[in-house]
Amino acid sequence: MPLNFYGHPFSSYCQKALIALYENDISFEFRVIEPGADEIVAQWAGLWPLKRFPLLVDGDRMVAESSIIIEYLDLHHRGAVRMLPDDPAEALDVRFMDRFFDHYVMNVMQVPVAEALRTGDARKDIALAEAKAALETAYAWLDRRLAGKTWAMGDTFTLADCAAAPSLFYADWVHEIDGYPNLRSYRSRLLTRPSFRRAVEEARPFRPYFPLGAPDRD
Ligand SMILES: N[C@@H](CCC(=O)N[C@@H](CS)C(=O)NCC(=O)O)C(=O)O
C-alpha cells in the first residue's frame, strides 16, 4: 500500500518532510490540499482535526508533525540517507537544531505571512517588524554555529537540514540574510541539494500567492 502524503507543495513544513521522502526516493501519493479538493480535504480533516499539514498515512497508521514524519520514515522506510544518527547523544544534538529551525526561524517567518493573509496592513507591519528583529537574533546565532560546517551538524545531512532548508528559504524572503556569510552560504548550499531543489521547483508555480511578495531570486 503506498504512503499517502497530505499537504501542499508551497508549504514550508511540507517541504521539510518532502526533502526526507526525496532523499531516499520513497514513493508516495501526494494528496494536495487545495481549493476544490473537497474529498482530500475531508479525509485530511477527518484524520487530523487539528488541520495542519503535512500529514502522512501509512496503512492504518497516521503520522502528524513534520519532525515526527521524518523520524518515522527513518525508522520504518529507512534508506541510504539516515535522518538521525544511531548514537543517542548525537541524535539529541540533531533534534536540538531541528527545534531551533522550527521555533526560531520557520514559526517566526510564518507570523507576518499569516498576518498578511488575514488582516490589514497595520498588524502585518507590526508582525513584520517583530519577525525581522527575532530573525536577526537567530541569524547571528546560526552564523556562529555554522562556521566550518557543510550541513547543520557538520559533514552529514540530517533531519536538521530538512528543517533548515525551507525555514531559511522563506525567512530570507521575509527578512533578507545580510551580513552573515556562513548562513548565506549554507542557504545557497541547501538550494543545491537535489531533494530540496525538487521541492522548490514543484512549489515555483505558487510563488505569486506569497502574500508579502516573492522576490525575484532562488
Ligand atoms: N508543527 C507542525 C506545523 C505544521 C504547520 O503549521 N503547517 C502549516 C502549513 S506550512 C499548516 O498546516 N497551515 C494550515 C493552517 O494553519 O490552517 C509540523 O511540524 O508539521
Place of cell 499539514: 53
pLDDT tens track for 122-151: 888 999 999 999 999 999 999 999 999 999
For ligand 1, say whether the CB of 123 is within 6 Å of any of its atoms.
no
User: Which pLDDT does position 163 carry in this prediction?
Assistant: 98
Closest residue by Cα to atom 1, ligand 1, is: 65
Cell of 16: 521539510
- Tell me the pTM: 0.97
Bridge partners, 64 (sequence order): 55
- Ligand 1 centroid to Cα of residue 114, in Å, is 11
Cβ neighbourhood burial of 88 (10 Å; 0-12, 13-18, 19+): exposed
pLDDT tens track for 48-86: 999 999 999 999 999 999 999 999 999 999 999 999 999
Closest residue by Cα to atom 12, ligand 1, is: 52
Domain spans of the chain, in order of start = 88-194
Closest CA to 115 of 130, 131, 127, 133: 127
- Ligand 1 centroid to Cα of residue 42, in Å, is 17
- Ligand 1 centroid to Cα of residue 106, in Å, is 10
For ligand 1, say whether the CB of 45 is within 6 Å of any of its atoms.
no
Tell me, rounded to whole angstroms, the distance of Cα 29 from its chain centroid.
19
Check pLDDT > 90 for residue 152: yes
Cell of 200: 522548490
User: Which pLDDT does position 123 carry in this prediction?
Assistant: 86
Q: Are strands 28-32 and 3-7 parallel, antiparallel or unpaired?
A: parallel
Annotation: CATH topology of 88-194: Glutathione S-transferase Yfyf (Class Pi); Chain A, domain 2 (1.20.1050)
